[in-house]
Structure 1
Amino acid sequence: MLRCPSCFLLLWKPVTVSCGHSFCKPCLGGSLPPRCPLCQERLKLLGVGTARCNVVLCGLLEKCVEREIRLAWLAAHVQDRLTHGDAEEALRMAQKGVEFAPDASSLLLCRAEAFAALGQHKRALEDLDAVCKAEPGEHEGFFRKGKVLLKMGQRAEALMAWEHCLTLSPHFHPARREMEKILAEDAPQPCTAAAHPDVAHQGSTGPQVDGGSPVFPSSSPQVQDQEGERADGRGDAEHGQGTATLSQPGRQQEQDTSAERQDRWLVDNEEETAAAKDTQPSLWELLSISDLECSLCIRMFFEPVTTPCGHTFCKECLERCLDHRPNCPLCKQSLREYLKDGSYSPTVLLQDIMLATFPAQLAQRRDLHQAEMAELSNLTNNIPIFVCTMSFPGIACPLHVFEPRYRLMIRRCQETGTRRFGMCIYEDGKSFADYGCMLEIRQIELLADGRSLVDTIGQRRFRVLSRGHRDGYNTADIEYLEDKKVAGEELQELQCLHESTYCLAQRFCEHGDLASRHVLVQHGPLPEKEEDIQALPDGPTWCWWLISILPLDPSYQLNLFSSTSLRARLTQLQRILTSLLQQPPPGHPLLEYNSWGRV
């Protein structure tokens, strides 16, 4: 679970990219790749110069991985960087490792190899001398020391180092191959004797190595190279041709088994890593709930998201912080680009760890969140109230949302799926009026700094039963209003009143210069009249459209709004329209005042 999906080794300096997947920092390279290696999503740095390590994952790795296995996978990562030709990064990683464990021979070997790859042979030799002194019984340090000495031109010293290596491990073929190459170059004539410390061909002569045992090169350089490749386990696989067979007892068996030892040092580290993995306690034994807690809500992570600066929070917690200030709550790194992007992808590895280690607690955390969402979804109890302006059923109400409390409120309305909230005007002594309109969100345009332009439309009228608060914004228990139905003769009279008032409204819209003014541009034309004037619980939509464009005093608008008698509303509208149509042309009629309010 804690392995990098790119190199398949244990994570080293884990970085969580914008899509939510986590990789070793070296695996991502010097710069962020254009797309995620796993999901192919386009990646972005979002306001930071370089990818930052995930602080929570680093802490989990530090706690879960024992010192020995950390050293093993660090050495494997350094070797991987060297294999890919990135010696500078390998050296940086090895330096960090040596600082962490100065006595770790495996990391000194890594650093020596990185030094050698960069041409810093003297520094490489210093590390190898330290390894040979610390572990005089291990052949690896002497073998690598010989290779560095050879690069420095010290052939005799290199031969001595390899001779000592073979003394410690007589069948370590890479050292034997290196010695054979040098001896082949120095030999006055080709020799065919076998290079074995115990058995030689008849009539063999030549230099004596390893306490008097003759070591001779192969019969030709080509055969010699092939034999060396077989010793490293690469002969047939890479070149597609056979290798020379040396004629001493047991040699063929040694060649057959040598293919399994491609790189003894790296394999040893991998085996050590595997062995340590087998003996490691499970994650649930090593971790506690506190290791997976959000630093903002002090609860178990729910939908954990990682910022570009490497810190992790619950998605909702981070969004609430960004409502107030576009900076990381911990390190204060600017998150303006992250906020502008708006895609808070969950950190996949953390979710997997929580599911594997604390499934019951995660389920409980999820149930708690769902209960909170269910409570927020109720459209009669504790509904969120936006205190701003008058709104009406069926009429658009565009909003510019910038206050942190209302940004939170709008976001919750979206998350619950209701996409609805109440709108009321302010009223002294009550925080907001006793009547309001339920609005439905149709579209939201998020701005770069977290503000939003919200397009809403009115749905139902309501009366406030009780008031409350939640996280800074107002809430209310409500009951919905509905016009009283009439029938028979009353309905016929109401229908006649409706027709005559609608005709006045049409004349009013054509009166003077009103049609060319911004009022109609903003609110659109007069809606068509309904066939059944009692079909909607709040009455005909055109009545509310007319009330919304007339510059009536809000208290008078609220009086019309709260009435559950369609006859009363139509009567009031008829009186207002008649008065406006009788006024003289000079001066726009909407700028005058009369007894019905600001008309």
Structure 2
Amino acid sequence: MFSSVFVNDDLATSMQPLPAGPSSRIKPSSLLSSLHSSLPRDGAKAGCSKYLATRAYNKTLLIEELLQRYFCEELAERRKVHEEEMKELSNLNQEVPIFVCTMAFPTIPCPLHVFEPRYRLMIRRSMETGTKQFGMCIADELKGFADHGCMLEVRDVKFFPDGRSVVDTIGIARFKVLSHGQRDGYHTAKIEYLEDKKVEGEELTELLKLHDSVYDQALGWFTSLKDDMKNQIISHFGQLPVKDSDPQGNPNGPAWCWWLLAVLPLENKAQLTILTMNALKDRLIAIRRVLIFVTRKRPR
């Protein structure tokens, strides 16, 4: 019925031809056993390592034909389950995957070394669904993770043969956790996104003055740092972003505020408090207080 060789991940495996005829229906269990026993163990391991590193694979036409011929009902059911699962995983409000690790901020890069199996699965799913997004929260002793966090978008992933990966992400939006959950070992959450409240009139005039004043204060603090410290910050976070002409133009507020919050010597809980603020005025006042504190504390 079939030829004797198929190729997958550069592995050649020989199989005996299957008998043809109306009375020669093959039992699925026997077919799977034959396929399993014919795979070379060392080669299969090497093929898996290559796939884990490159995430590239060749379709095995023989296996596909066998599945369609002998497992058509099971294949259709599995496709249906897979489509429903992908649709569910793509909903970035109802069940957002949560990476519990560190503080993350909008517009700020957040490189990750992923080695835990649960997070490897989470990253793979975020790539397969096409969302390329997940939430980042710091840990909470009682709830598992904090009630606020930042959505991250994957810009690039480098996979290694042992399954680990280095993931280049950047913050895109803040969120509030409405409910905590779990899926296949990793945390999930139902969330709502946070946006700054806009102001007008005299409030806007005062906000613009405060914005310019705190930015100048931040620029003065950064330029006063020693060269080695500045170089370390720049190599990881880049230069201090330019001052926004319209501080209310982005729902998350000015990018320079998040850059400053990421580089200032603050504990995670203090950073989280500022992250949750949905009034730019409150955030600017908090940052100004921190700048005053670190400036006074610096040894002369």
Q: 1:292: Cα distance to partner?
A: 7.0
Corresponding residue for residue 75 of structure 2? 362
Corresponding residue for residue 579 of structure 1? 293
TM-score (norm: length of structure 1): 0.46
Q: Is the 8 A contact 1:355 1:362 kept in 2?
A: yes
CA distance in 2, matches of 1:308, 1:544: 56
- Select 1:374's aligned residue among 65, 81, 87: 87
Q: Spell out, residue by residue over 1:471-518, the C-alpha distance to the aligned partner (whole angstroms, 9 max, x if none).
A: 111111111111111111111111111011111111111013055441
Structure 1 SS opposite 2:162? coil
Q: Is the 8 A contact 1:483 1:564 kept in 2?
A: yes
Structure 1 SS opposite 2:168? strand
Cα distance change on mapping 1:482 and 1:363 into 2, 3 Å: same
Q: Spell out, residue by residue over 1:556-589, the C-alpha distance to the aligned partner (whole angstroms, 9 max, x if none).
A: 1111011111100100111221333344544xxx
Aligned length: 297
TM-score (norm: length of structure 2): 0.89
Q: 1:542: Cα distance to partner?
A: 0.8
Corresponding residue for residue 235 of structure 1? none
Q: Spell out, residue by residue over 1:449-470, the C-alpha distance to the aligned partner (whole angstroms, 9 max, x if none).
A: 2211100000111111111111
Q: Is the 8 A contact 1:309 1:333 kept in 2?
A: no
The structure with the greater share of residues assigned to strand is 2
Structure 1 SS opposite 2:206? helix
Structure 1 SS opposite 2:144? coil
Structure 2 SS opposite 1:397? coil
Aligned AA (1:552): L
- Select 2:257's aligned residue among 521, 543, 546: 543
Cα distance change on mapping 1:478 and 1:506 into 2, 3 Å: same
Cα distance change on mapping 1:18 and 1:488 into 2, 3 Å: same
Aligned AA (1:384): P
Q: Spell out, residue by residue over 1:160-190, the C-alpha distance to the aligned partner (whole angstroms, 9 max, x if none).
A: xxxxxxxxxxxxxxxxxxxxxxxxxxxxxxx
Cα distance change on mapping 1:578 and 1:406 into 2, 3 Å: same
Cα distance change on mapping 1:496 and 1:307 into 2, 3 Å: farther
CA distance in 1, matches of 2:250, 2:38: 53
Q: Is the 8 A contact 1:52 1:308 kept in 2?
A: no
- Select 1:286's aligned residue among 19, 22, 25: 25
Matches within 5 A, 1:260-299: 280-281=21-22, 286-287=25-26
Corresponding residue for residue 162 of structure 1? none
Corresponding residue for residue 397 of structure 1? 110
Q: Spell out, residue by residue over 1:2-33, the C-alpha distance to the aligned partner (whole angstroms, 9 max, x if none).
A: 33xxxxxxx3xx343235xxxxxxxxxxxxxx
Q: Is the 8 A contact 2:54 2:159 kept in 1?
A: no
CA distance in 2, matches of 1:585, 1:535: 38
Q: 1:333: Cα distance to partner?
A: 5.2
CA distance in 2, matches of 1:469, 1:351: 33
CA distance in 1, matches of 2:114, 2:70: 41
Matches within 5 A, 1:328-343: 335-337=48-50, 339-343=52-56
Segments of structure 1 that go 5 or more residues without pairing to the other structure are 4-10, 20-43, 46-50, 66-276, 295-305, 312-326, 587-599
Residue 350 (str. 1) matches residue 93 (str. 2): no
Q: Is the 8 A contact 2:51 2:161 kept in 1?
A: no
Cα distance change on mapping 1:293 and 1:411 into 2, 3 Å: farther
Identity among equivalent positions (%) equals 46
Q: Is the 8 A contact 2:8 2:59 kept in 1?
A: no
Greater relative contact order, per chain length (Cα 8 Å cut-off, separation 6+): 2
Q: 1:444: Cα distance to partner?
A: 0.6
The higher radius of gyration belongs to: 1
Cα distance change on mapping 1:532 and 1:307 into 2, 3 Å: farther
Aligned AA (1:286): R
Corresponding residue for residue 534 of structure 1? 248
Segments of structure 2 that go 5 or more residues without pairing to the other structure are none
Q: Is the 8 A contact 2:114 2:164 kept in 1?
A: yes
Corresponding residue for residue 492 of structure 1? 205
Q: 1:348: Cα distance to partner?
A: 1.2
Residue 557 (str. 1) matches residue 271 (str. 2): yes
Q: Is the 8 A contact 1:386 1:424 kept in 2?
A: yes
Corresponding residue for residue 419 of structure 1? 132
- Select 2:171's aligned residue among 458, 464, 472: 458
Aligned AA (2:265): P
Q: 1:416: Cα distance to partner?
A: 0.2
Corresponding residue for residue 310 of structure 1? 39
Aligned AA (2:257): C
